[in-house]
Amino acid sequence: MTKDQIFEFFRRLAEDNPSPETELEYGNAYQLVVAVALSAQATDVGVNKATRALFRVVEMPEQMLELGEEGLKEHIKTIGLFNSKAKNVIALSQLLVDEYGSVVPDTREDLVRLPGVGRKTANVVLNCWFGQETFAVDTHIFRVGNRTGLAKGKTPEQVEAKLEKRVPQPFRLGAHHWLILHGRYLCKARTPECWRCKVVDLCSYRKKVLETPKGR
């Protein structure tokens, strides 16, 4: 894509959804960290179902430590990899209490020190809570970046670097939300719904599905 095409790409997505947000539910920075950590290899819908009851009793890391690992497992046992995720959430809660005064840090370097928090999770927290212009490359963004020609790369890190260079203002803050939602609901892995895509003419994907499948 050219610079003009990239600008138009995001302009249309922004016009369609002016205030994009994560679909994860949370009430504060700590709950956001927990929700994003739990969302690895799981759907936001599944995480939200598990955390609604959890977040009614746990708002801060101290309360998570009081709940304990077994208590946490009872809340999140419907989520994939819940055993290892429970261990990580308890460990990150302990580290927040011990070294950060129970306050979620606002730098990537500190966030990735937390157990279960990788670069993608840190970028989500920095963007959604602290309002930083970060690009959290999940499977949806990786697919959309490569398929459309917006940001091609063989690894999430390469796609992130391309997005960092290519996404213009005023779209940088909301870019990763637009791309995730686009990949989740339109530019799907198996059958991209190109027939109802607002940016189909800007996309370089050669196998566009332009006719509405029967039954749709």
Q: Which residues are annotated as a binding site?
A: 187, 194, 197, 203
Q: In whole angstroms, what is the distance from residue 51 CA to residue 39 CA?
A: 11
Helix (H), strand (E), coil (C) string for 148-211: HCCCCCCCHHHHHHHHHHHCCCCCCCCHHHHHHHHHHHCCCCCCCCHHHCCCHHHCCCCCCCCC
Q: Which two tokens stand for residue 202?
A: 């800007």
Catalytic residue, chosen from 73, 85, 138, 162, is 138
> Cβ–Cβ contacts within 10 Å for residue 41, how many?
10
Q: Give the span between the Cα atoms of 11 and 17, in whole angstroms.
A: 10
Catalytic site residue 3? no
Catalytically annotated residue among 98, 120, 201, 208: 120
Both structure tokens of 192: 């991209």
29-38 and 82-100 helices cross at what angle (nearest 10)?
150
Question: Is 120 an active-site residue?
Answer: yes
Count of other CB atoms within 10 angstroms of residue 105: 20
Question: Which runs of consecutive H residues, i.e. helices, occur in the chain?
Answer: 3-16, 29-38, 44-57, 61-76, 82-100, 108-111, 119-128, 139-148, 156-166, 175-185
Q: Could you tell me the two tokens for 103?
A: 């306050």
Give the residue numbers annotated as catalytic, written as ranges. Answer: 120, 138
